[in-house]
Amino acid sequence: MNAENPDNTELRKAFDHQRRQFGIQPPPPYDLRKDRLNRLLVLTENHADEVSAAISADFGHRCAQETQLAEILLIAGSIKHARRSLRKWMRTRRARTALHFLPGSSRIIRQPLGVVGVVAPWNYPYQLTMGPTVSAIAAGNRVMIKPSELTPRFSALLKSLVARYYSADEITVVTGGADVGEAFCQLPFDHLVFTGSTAVGRSVAQSAARNLTPVTLELGGKSPAIIDADCAVEVIAPRLAMGKLWNAGQTCIAPDYVLVHESRQSDLVDALRRAVRRLFPTLGRNPDYTSVVDQRHFDRLSEIISDATEKGARVERLTNDAEDAPDGQLRMAPILLLNVRDDMRVMREEIFGPILPILSYQNLDEAIHFVNSRDRPLALYWFGHNPRNRDRVLHETISGGVTINDCIWHFAQEDLPFGGVGASGSGVCHGEWGFRALSKEKPVFTQRRLSALPMLYPPYGRVFSLMLKVLRRLM
């Protein structure tokens, strides 16, 4: 899409409208922000079933309970948390003032930035469009949202629902493909929150840099799960299996591969097989199991498996095949891959599907080295009981976040910052962390009538030297 394209002009008009209204109207007070959050809660709760149905239609099949839990409940919870905390988050903070500046005083004002852009992927389309939106409107910003083209029914529904609950200068949704995404990211937003792949994130960061737009990049990568020798594999197997199989593995923080102590590998494989068969006794027509989103991703996952098996990996089936899946549903049976090597695609690319490679290690140094010799992951999971090993993994690896003895759940904590590091992203979202990321925290120093500072003015002489001596001692 070039600059003359009418669609591009429409984007620019929508942006300019929001920016102008932001400039004309006073910063939104508490009541207006709360009202915007309330409207989002009503939208979320009143249209949950429509949202769930649209996402399911886009996926071929998306388990309704997963949508209720991971999209609706999570966002309703974020809105309520923001509503409860809003007064506290908006409050001006007092800051310490050094002695020689007294009786002057210091404080920090949290101000809205202006217009925030939100670009979202397809895998949790409601959560990943609305999560940043909650933070943005709580912080008093206007929001433009660009959802994914891979969920067209959902994106069209979101556009119409948002238009029903908000004026275009408050929140607006722009739909379209990668070209629209590209044009969208060239707008001079006051902040851009991009959630998606690392490859696209890189180009988004470059577009934003041209406008000096600050970006939060919520990207992907390969998140390891490390299983210590003392693990109760029967307890951890369902947790690991669900971490992988929510949304059929199409989750940015799903465990991408497992590093298991060599003494426990075969126990773990057996326990995973039992756990997955209990969780998903059937597959093809089981409403609890989500489909792969489209043929391209299904083919990509199939090619990853073929590439691995051609190079010597062994497939361990965890359930029966999904051959009886209804027409139009791309269900992929969950599998483990054993004997994997670094030259296989499965160990080089983010998997984003129900395939779990299992690698073994002899000692913890080896596992830590394995993680540290790759891009910094978005999440890391450690399972075990030995506090020394746990602390070594926590302190000697860097990842976006960690859950110990389970998968995924650090994400669901509103009071923990969520975000990647290095190739898995930068910046944070959720709760007060998200609010602050989308606010200008403005430092303000107020001088009083009486001040000692003129003693530091020229003409410099004895008074200045004396003051300098005193200050050197005080500081």
Which residues would be at the binding site for ligand NAD (CB under 6 A)? 119-123, 128, 146, 148-149, 177-178, 181-182, 185, 195-197, 200, 203-204, 218-220, 252, 350, 352, 378, 420, 425
Nearer to ligand NAD, 112 or 220 (CB): 220
Nearer to ligand NAD, 58 or 350 (CB): 350
CB of 221 to ligand NAD, least distance (A): 7
**DSSP-based three-state secondary structure for 238:** helix
Tell me, yes or no, if 262 is annotated catalytic. no
CB of 99 to ligand NAD, least distance (A): 44
CB of 264 to ligand NAD, least distance (A): 28
CB of 211 to ligand NAD, least distance (A): 14
Give dist(CA 288, CA 282) in Å, integer.
9
Nearer to ligand NAD, 194 or 361 (CB): 194
Nearer to ligand NAD, 112 or 221 (CB): 221
Question: Phi-psi category of 54—alpha, beta or left, where left has phi over 0 and alpha has psi -120 to 50?
Answer: alpha
CB of 95 to ligand NAD, least distance (A): 32
Let me know: does 421 contact 376? Beta carbons within 8 Å: yes
Nearer to ligand NAD, 413 or 447 (CB): 413
Among residues 66, 71, 170, 218, the one annotated as catalytic is 218
Nearer to ligand NAD, 169 or 349 (CB): 349
Give dist(CA 197, CA 446) in Å, integer.
45
Give dist(CA 34, CA 442) in Å, integer.
22
Let me know: does 330 contact 290? Beta carbons within 8 Å: no
Question: Any alpha helices (H) in 246-378, and if so which ranges?
Answer: 265-279, 295-310, 364-372
Nearer to ligand NAD, 261 or 376 (CB): 376
Among residues 185, 252, 407, 429, the one annotated as catalytic is 252
Name the residue number minimizing CB distance to ligand NAD.
Answer: 220
Residue 340 half-sphere exposure, CB side, CA atoms within 13 Å? 27
Residues with Cβ within 8 Å of residue 188, at least 6 apart in sequence: 15, 211, 213
DSSP label of 143 = E
Tell me, yes or no, if 231 is annotated catalytic. no
CB of 30 to ligand NAD, least distance (A): 29
The two structure tokens encoding residue 69: 């839990």
CB of 63 to ligand NAD, least distance (A): 17
Catalytic residue numbers? 218, 252
